[in-house]
């Protein structure tokens, strides 16, 4: 039997955050021990509400959810990206309201507590702006853990600007602290997430499910696909956040992931929010770089879409069937 890795998920739920959360609940390699929310796709508060509702729908209302930072370190929250994720963050899909409450602690405090409770074991999966992770570093600078970040762009174009990806652009000062901290970071940038495309056939498979979580995700993705149709020229989407989750738990392997020096542009120039990754080893096949700490995932061994859909359907259809059977026995 495989040991499940304890996961702290930091998110701004968000359609692809919802996919990542459902994936982590479904994965036999993960045990989600805590979730913090942060403003990004939506406000931290709306993201927390969406997270609680999704957990309830998934039969995982026992996972604690902590509210995180509303504002980035050096600015005020800009209001989110309703044109990508809908005004409610989940593509205008109405999820059944969970009765669960938020944890009494902040997201940063939860992360510090979990890092102590699962010393050397906790994996941090950060799929929103890095404000909470930076705050946790302030609370405990020696918070040495494995951190996987969906964010940035190494050689690929940016999303919010020609060179800046949304999560990093939203709070460059926090990202700069996180990338400069004394830990190993895996960056899952647009280079690999934009190349990992969820197609309409995948969405239809989710919609056709007997289980409510895959169906809700398939409905949300209709909204997400409409935004990405303007980028790819066909209805489909990138798989930013769930890919970071799958890489963090080791279910998906990187084909090319050089470890390089990386910094974040916190200037007010046109590069603000860019992850400045030193990819100059490209021409010699990325030889090892002394002192480098940032692993930048550039490509995958296998296509991610089928694994994502199979994992979601396999888990949620199984639990739904078990619940139905339990109900019929009772």
By the 10 Å C-beta count (0-12 exposed, 13-18 middle, 19+ buried), 222 is classed as middle
3-state secondary structure of 30: strand
| Calpha distance 128→36 (Å, rounded) | 10
264 backbone dihedrals φ, ψ, rounded to 5°: -115, 135
Confirm or reject binding of residue 285 to a copy of itself (CB under 8 A). yes
- Residue 263: CB minimum distance to a copy of itself, A: 5
Confirm or reject binding of residue 267 to a copy of itself (CB under 8 A). yes
Confirm or reject binding of residue 288 to a copy of itself (CB under 8 A). no
Residue whose CB is less far from a copy of itself, 68 or 151: 151
Helix (H) or strand (E) holding 172: helix 172-180
Helix (H) or strand (E) holding 125: strand 123-126
Confirm or reject binding of residue 157 to a copy of itself (CB under 8 A). yes
Confirm or reject binding of residue 4 to a copy of itself (CB under 8 A). no
Confirm or reject binding of residue 276 to a copy of itself (CB under 8 A). yes
Confirm or reject binding of residue 87 to a copy of itself (CB under 8 A). no
Confirm or reject binding of residue 278 to a copy of itself (CB under 8 A). yes
Among 159, 186, 237, 311, binds a copy of itself (CB under 8 A): 159
Determine whether 62 is an active site residue. no
Out of 240, 241, 307, 315, which one is annotated catalytic?
A: 240
| Calpha distance 300→308 (Å, rounded) | 14
- Residue 259: CB minimum distance to a copy of itself, A: 14
How wide is the angle at C-alpha 226 spanned by C-alphas 222 and 231, nearest 5°? 135
Residue whose CB is less far from a copy of itself, 1 or 284: 284
Give the contacts of 324 (CB within 8 A, at least 6 positions apart).
Answer: none
Confirm or reject binding of residue 286 to a copy of itself (CB under 8 A). no
| Beta strand pairing call for 123-126 and 5-11 | parallel
Among 158, 189, 258, 305, binds a copy of itself (CB under 8 A): 158
HEC string for 90-114: CCCCCCCCCCCCCCCCCHHHHHHHH
Stretch that binds a copy of itself, among 34-42, 56-64, 98-106, 275-283 (CB under 8 A): 275-283
Among 266, 294, 296, 313, binds a copy of itself (CB under 8 A): 266
- Contacts with a copy of itself by CB under 8 A: the residue count is 33
Confirm or reject binding of residue 232 to a copy of itself (CB under 8 A). yes
| Calpha distance 268→263 (Å, rounded) | 15
Determine whether 170 is an active site residue. no
The residue length of the chain stands at: 330
| Calpha distance 139→123 (Å, rounded) | 18
Active site (catalytic) residues:
12, 240
Binding site for a copy of itself (CB under 8 A): 155-159, 161-163, 194, 231-233, 261, 263, 265-272, 274, 276-280, 282-285, 287
């Amino acid at each position: 039997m495989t040991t499940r890795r304890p996961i702290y998920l930091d998110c701004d739920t968000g359609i692809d955050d919802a996919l990542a959360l459902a994936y982590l609940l479904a994965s036999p390699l993960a045990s989600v021990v805590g979730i913090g929310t942060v403003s990004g796709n939506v406000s931290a508060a709306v993201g927390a509400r969406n997270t609680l509702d999704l957990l309830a729908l998934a039969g995982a209302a026992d996972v604690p959810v902590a509210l995180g930072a509303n504002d980035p370190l050096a600015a005020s929250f800009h209001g989110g990206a309703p044109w990508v994720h809908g005004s409610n963050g989940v593509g205008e899909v109405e999820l059944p309201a969970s009765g669960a409450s938020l944890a009494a602690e902040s997201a940063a405090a939860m992360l510090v507590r979990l890092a102590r409770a699962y010393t050397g074991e906790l994996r941090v999966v950060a799929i929103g702006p890095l404000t909470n992770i930076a705050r946790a570093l302030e609370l405990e600078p020696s918070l040495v853990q494995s951190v996987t970040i969906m964010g940035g762009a190494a050689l690929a174009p940016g999303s919010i600007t020609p060179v800046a990806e949304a999560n990093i652009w939203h709070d460059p000062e926090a990202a700069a602290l996180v990338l400069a901290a004394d830990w190993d970071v895996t960056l899952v940038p647009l280079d690999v997430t934009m190349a990992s495309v969820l197609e309409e056939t995948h969405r239809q498979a989710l919609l056709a499910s007997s289980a409510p979580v895959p169906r809700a995700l398939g409905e949300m993705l209709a909204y997400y696909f409409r935004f990405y149709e303007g980028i790819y020229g066909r209805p489909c989407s990138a798989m930013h956040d769930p890919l970071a989750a799958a890489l963090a738990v080791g279910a998906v392997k990187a084909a090319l992931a050089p470890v390089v020096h990386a910094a974040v542009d916190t200037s007010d120039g046109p590069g603000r929010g860019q992850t400045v990754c030193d990819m100059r080893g490209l021409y010699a096949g990325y030889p090892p770089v002394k002192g480098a700490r940032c692993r930048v995932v550039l490509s995958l061994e296998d296509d991610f879409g089928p694994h994502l859909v199979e994992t979601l359907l396999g888990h949620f259809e199984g639990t739904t069937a078990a619940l139905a059977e339990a109900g019929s026995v009772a």
